[in-house]
């Protein structure tokens, strides 16, 4: 792996020209800015530019209490809001040595897996959209909308939930929760076949993604890629398996690892992960333990002096939270290791020498969430 030393200059040279993709571009899903050097349709160099939606979440957190900074994490990877909250809550629980009630653990896993489903559904839709198929987007939103409605009933919000808090969850499940989730899973088990009909099996889609954007195994390791991106390159990195939390160790599910490493494999990994998520929900939905949904935690949290690290598996990979505490009610330093930032690093290596159309396909299968890159 060679690290590019120089930034791409803006001037065109004969035979090559430089274009700016983004920050406002239909396929960057946000405000990612790429500067690309092109030779006709061929990409010679790519350079991501960050900073357009840097909100300084880490710095703001240093002046907010622990409870207050958790809500900020929902705004990082907004499609994995539950997971982000969960990571911080787990960290606080670790620091305060709080035992989370079993019911809360089960609710957390249910919510997180629903969120993973919703996130992958949106990714599927937008992957289709990026490759020019508009209809999948709406089919994906059909089930996602139902999941969001389930969230809305229990958590009160659809996107930035702030539902998982230190000690458990914010409030108890809505009475209809179990019924609705069951109906949703039943429906989605049928409708996931439409995904195959529209994209997976489609010859154009296959030709667009197969043998495009190879991410070799060692490059993925050295870039710190995680989540479906790394798993498609043959790296076993599911935190739910490797460092189980919240009772994942008791559940039966398999980690999807494939080793071809091209765009289509990344696509398949996510489709299979959706099936695994449904499998996890199936196991839990009938066995939610009775009891408290939250352990008592003091209003103002003070972590004992020391350093803490907690990792969870979000829909896009490993999220790590690192906190240095000096015993005060605000963290001394907080650092998020977000999956998308590392996964974005792969882009400039794997999209090199491919066509502009491939770049879009690669970005779609990397599933980048820009606010997570620029915290």
In the complex, the residues that contact another protein under the rule CB under 8 A are 17, 19, 25-27, 40-41, 64, 67-69, 71-72, 128-135, 137-139, 142, 145, 149, 152-157, 160, 162, 165, 170-171, 174, 194, 197-199, 201-208, 299, 355-360
- Residues 33 and 52 sit within 8 Å (Cβ to Cβ): yes
- Please report how the helices 356-366 and 263-285 are oriented relative to each other, as an axis angle in degrees rounded to 10: 20
Question: Strand, coil or helix: what is 46?
Answer: strand
Is 25 buried (19+), middle (13-18) or exposed (0-12) by CB count in 10 A?
Answer: middle
> DSSP letter at 159?
S
Q: Pick between residue 174 and residue 243 the one whose CB is nearest to another protein.
A: 174
Q: Pick between residue 64 and residue 221 the one whose CB is nearest to another protein.
A: 64
Q: Pick between residue 150 and residue 235 the one whose CB is nearest to another protein.
A: 150
- Residues 354 and 42 sit within 8 Å (Cβ to Cβ): yes
Q: How far is the CB of 133 from another protein (least distance, A)?
A: 4
Partners of 318 in the β-ladder: 313
Q: How far is the CB of 242 from another protein (least distance, A)?
A: 31
Q: Pick between residue 235 and residue 350 the one whose CB is nearest to another protein.
A: 350
Residue 294 phi, psi (nearest 5): -155, 135
Q: Pick between residue 217 and residue 302 the one whose CB is nearest to another protein.
A: 302
Q: How far is the CB of 124 from another protein (least distance, A)?
A: 12
CA atoms within 13 A on the CB side of 118: 25
Q: How far is the CB of 208 from another protein (least distance, A)?
A: 6
Residues with Cβ < 8 Å from 351, sequence gap 6 or more? 43, 46, 213, 358, 359, 362, 363
Residues with Cβ < 8 Å from 201, sequence gap 6 or more? none
Q: How far is the CB of 57 from another protein (least distance, A)?
A: 12
Q: How far is the CB of 186 from another protein (least distance, A)?
A: 17
Q: How far is the CB of 298 from another protein (least distance, A)?
A: 11
Q: Pick between residue 129 and residue 229 the one whose CB is nearest to another protein.
A: 129
Give all strands (DSSP E) within 135-174, no chain letters: 164-165, 168-169
Q: How far is the CB of 55 from another protein (least distance, A)?
A: 13
Q: How far is the CB of 253 from another protein (least distance, A)?
A: 29
For the beta carbon of residue 167, count every other beta carbon within 10 angstroms. Answer: 22
Q: How far is the CB of 185 from another protein (least distance, A)?
A: 18
- Dihedral of the alpha carbons of 236, 242, 247, 248, in degrees to the nearest 10: 10
Q: Pick between residue 177 and residue 248 the one whose CB is nearest to another protein.
A: 177
Give all strands (DSSP E) within 109-185, no chain letters: 164-165, 168-169
Q: Pick between residue 3 and residue 134 the one whose CB is nearest to another protein.
A: 134
141 conformational bin, left if phi > 0, alpha if psi -120 to 50, beta if neither: alpha
CA nearest to 213, candidates 20, 46, 7: 46
DSSP of 173-237, one letter per residue? PPTTHHHHHHHHHHHHHHHHHHHIIIIIT-HHHHHHHTT-S---HHHHHHHT--THHHHTTT---
């Amino acid at each position: 792996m060679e690290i590019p030393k120089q930034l791409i200059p803006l001037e065109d040279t004969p035979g090559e020209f430089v274009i700016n993709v983004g920050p406002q571009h239909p396929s960057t899903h946000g405000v990612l800015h790429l500067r690309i050097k092109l030779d006709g349709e061929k990409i010679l160099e790519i350079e991501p530019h960050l900073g357009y939606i840097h909100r300084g979440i880490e710095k703001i957190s240093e002046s907010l209490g622990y409870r207050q900074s958790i809500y900020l994490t929902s705004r990082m990877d907004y499609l994995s809001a539950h997971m982000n909250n969960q990571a911080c809550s787990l960290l606080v629980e670790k620091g305060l040595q709080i035992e989370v009630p079993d019911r809360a653990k089960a609710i957390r896993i249910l919510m997180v897996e629903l969120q993973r489903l919703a996130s992958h559904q949106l990714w599927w839709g937008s992957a289709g959209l990026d490759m020019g198929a508009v209809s999948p987007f709406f089919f994906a939103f059909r089930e996602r909308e139902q999941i969001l409605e389930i969230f809305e009933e229990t958590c009160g919000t659809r996107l930035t939930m702030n539902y998982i808090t230190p000690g458990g969850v914010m409030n108890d499940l809505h009475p209809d929760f179990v019924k609705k989730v069951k109906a949703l899973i039943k429906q989605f088990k049928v409708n996931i076949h439409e995904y195959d009909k529209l994209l997976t099996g489609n010859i154009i889609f296959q030709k667009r993604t197969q043998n495009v954007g190879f991410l070799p195994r060692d490059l993925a390791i050295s870039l710190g890629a995680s989540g479906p991106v790394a798993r498609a390159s043959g790296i076993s990195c599911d935190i739910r398996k490797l460092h189980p939390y919240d009772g994942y160790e008791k559940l039966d599910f398999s980690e999807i690892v494939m080793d071809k490493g091209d765009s289509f494999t990344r696509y398949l990994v996510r489709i299979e992960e959706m099936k695994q998520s449904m499998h996890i929900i199936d196991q839990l939905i009938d066995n939610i333990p009775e009891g408290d949904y939250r352990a008592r935690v003091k209003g103002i949290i003070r972590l004992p002096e020391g350093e803490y690290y907690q990792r969870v598996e979000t829909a896009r990979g490993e999220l790590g939270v690192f906190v240095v505490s000096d015993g005060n009610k605000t963290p001394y330093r907080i650092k998020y290791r977000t999956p998308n930032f590392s996964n974005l690093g792969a882009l400039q290596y794997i999209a090199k020498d491919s066509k502009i159309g491939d770049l879009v396909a690669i970005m779609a299968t990397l599933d980048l969430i820009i606010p997570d890159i620029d915290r």
